[in-house]
Structure 1
Amino acid sequence: MKVFSSLPSAMDVLAGHKKWDRTFEAIRICTQLPAGPTYSVGDSLTWRIVKQEDSDKHFVARRRYQRLLYCLSGQVEYDICAHWESTQPYSDLSDTHTVVGEYSTHTLPPGNLLIVDITEGTRIRIGPDGCALLLHVTVEGHSFHNK
């Protein structure tokens, strides 16, 4: 898990690589597009605005796409578990499996960006006044220099 306190701080570390530049562009334009649909750039990036009704009921882990969460407003919390066990088989179609494990709870303030590693499970909980951008970015290509 990596949390950036602002978009510029994330750009300082990740900009200059096509998948991250596309990610930052999606974040910049997200409020100009209608909420509801999922948008994509090929098979490397998808994003959509999420609200309280989109909160996760279970922990989710992915294999091919990193899960990102950018808080737009209000209360957004996430639970994260680094060591987990699958409770449902992995689905190649959705790139997800439901997992359980010991977790810690965190708050994501507006303007912060959370990047979840594919080795971690997450559960996103959005408050009644919360709004966030949920993105899925391919793990192929450039990653963090310390990973």
Structure 2
Amino acid sequence: MIILNSLEEFRQRYHSAKKWRRCLEAIANLQALKPGVCHSIGDSLVYRLVDGPAAAAACFTGNRRYVEVHYYLEGGESVDFAPKSELSSLSPYSDETDRETFAGDGTLRHGASAGQLLIFDNDYAYRPLGAGHLRKLVLMVTIEGATFHNK
């Protein structure tokens, strides 16, 4: 997992690839977003706004074809994360949802706050621990070479 403390840090670090520029385009579109509605830009980015109470997850979630980026706008939450290799599989990988679930103890915990971006790469799984009120943008960015097969 990568922790960035500001959108400016994200811009500086991830400015060259088209898929990361699309993330910035999605972030610039925040004013037009309604919570829970999925949007996409091209075939490399799907994103949605989360706004409201956030329940704690019962298990860890991991992806294979997407890198998951959480951009915290208001509030914050604690997130447990661990290498997938250190967790036990609960459900097999689903190609339809690009998700797999795990059980175990998070080897690391981070308290995310407004302005931060958390980037969950494919070697890690994460488990949000819930929040009373949270506003964040969740972006699913394809990894290199992974696009929709019907495109």
TM-score by length of 1: 0.87
Task: Report the secondary structure of 1:25's partner residue.
Answer: helix
Residue 138 of structure 2 aligns with which residue?
134
Question: Which one-letter code corresponds to 2:62 in the other structure?
Answer: A
Separation in 2 of the partners of 1:23 and 1:3? 16
Residue 89 of structure 2 aligns with which residue?
86
Residue 59 of structure 2 aligns with which residue?
58
Question: Which one-letter code corresponds to 2:10 in the other structure?
Answer: A
Separation in 1 of the partners of 2:7 and 2:133? 21
Residue 25 of structure 1 aligns with which residue?
25
Separation in 1 of the partners of 2:56 and 2:32? 22
Identity among equivalent positions (%) equals 34
Separation in 1 of the partners of 2:109 and 2:87? 15
CA RMSD after TM alignment: 1.6
Task: Give unpaired runs (5+ residues) of structure 1.
Answer: 142-147
1:47 is aligned to 2:44: no
Instruction: Map residues 81-120 of structure 1 onto 2, 5 A cutoff.
Output: 81-82=82-83, 83-103=86-106, 104-120=108-124
Separation in 1 of the partners of 2:13 and 2:54? 32
Question: Which one-letter code corresponds to 1:17 in the other structure?
Answer: A
Say how many residue pairs are matched: 141
TM-score by length of 2: 0.85
Task: Report the secondary structure of 1:68's partner residue.
Answer: strand
Separation in 2 of the partners of 1:13 and 1:100? 32
Task: Give unpaired runs (5+ residues) of structure 2.
Answer: 146-151
1:24–1:90 distance in 2 versus 1, CA, 3 Å: same
Q: Could you say which structure has the higher strand fraction?
A: 2
Question: Which one-letter code corresponds to 2:91 in the other structure?
Answer: Q
Task: Report the secondary structure of 1:12's partner residue.
Answer: helix
